[in-house]
Amino acid sequence: MEVLWAPWRMAYIKRAGLRDNDCFLCLPPDHIGPDRDRLVLYSDPIVLVMMNLFPYNNGHLLVAPRRHIPSLSAANQAERLALMDQAARSTELLARVMSPQGFNLGVNQGRVAGGSVEDHLHLHVTPRYQGDSNYMTVFGQTRVISEHILAAFDHLAPLFNE
């Protein structure tokens, strides 16, 4: 068995103030704006954009409604519009800062669809780079993320809050 040491994940596991039943996508009601500790790049009363702590690629973001709802059908019109607006804005800002050659955007609803957080709707915005699915992923079952998540946060947060 191979062991991959990832001590940085312990901060996520022991997240201060979170109980077992708390949702990492839920913010306090009065929270607006960026939050480096939570990796929140942007938040307003309807929607938030945050870095994915377990990214598929550099710049992998999550866009979620502030309201804790399980599906697109549970979202109201304002939430759906805000989700899509922030997804589009995310692709524009990621293109400016990280220069990907493409994007995958997706929603996984329900555990069997791949939704690891099945009760709080969120949209994935994943930048794609030429060669990002290389031999490391295929043979080594290892992803290479070339920039530290906090460095990426520091590049992106000012743009999301202009």
Q: What is the mean pLDDT of residues 132-153?
A: 70
Q: Please indicate, yes or no, if residue 118 is contained in any of the structural domains.
A: yes
Q: Please indicate, yes or no, if residue 108 is contained in any of the structural domains.
A: yes
Q: What is the mean pLDDT of residues 129-146?
A: 65
Q: Residue 50, Cα to own-chain centre: how many angstroms?
A: 5
Q: Please indicate, yes or no, if residue 2 is contained in any of the structural domains.
A: no
| Structure confidence at residue 111 as a pLDDT band (50, 70, 90) | confident
| Structure confidence at residue 20 as a pLDDT band (50, 70, 90) | very low
CATH number, domain with residue 128: 3.30.428.10
Indicate the number of domains in the chain.
Answer: 1
Q: Rounded to an integer, what distance in angstroms lies between the CA atom of residue 51 and that of residue 159?
A: 14
Sign of CA dihedral 34, 40, 41, 47: negative
Q: Please indicate, yes or no, if residue 86 is contained in any of the structural domains.
A: yes
Q: Rounded to an integer, what distance in angstroms lies between the CA atom of residue 158 and that of residue 162?
A: 6
pTM of the prediction? 0.82
Q: Please indicate, yes or no, if residue 1 is contained in any of the structural domains.
A: no
Q: Please indicate, yes or no, if residue 3 is contained in any of the structural domains.
A: no
Q: Please indicate, yes or no, if residue 73 is contained in any of the structural domains.
A: yes
Domain housing 127? 9-160
Give the chain's mean pLDDT: 84
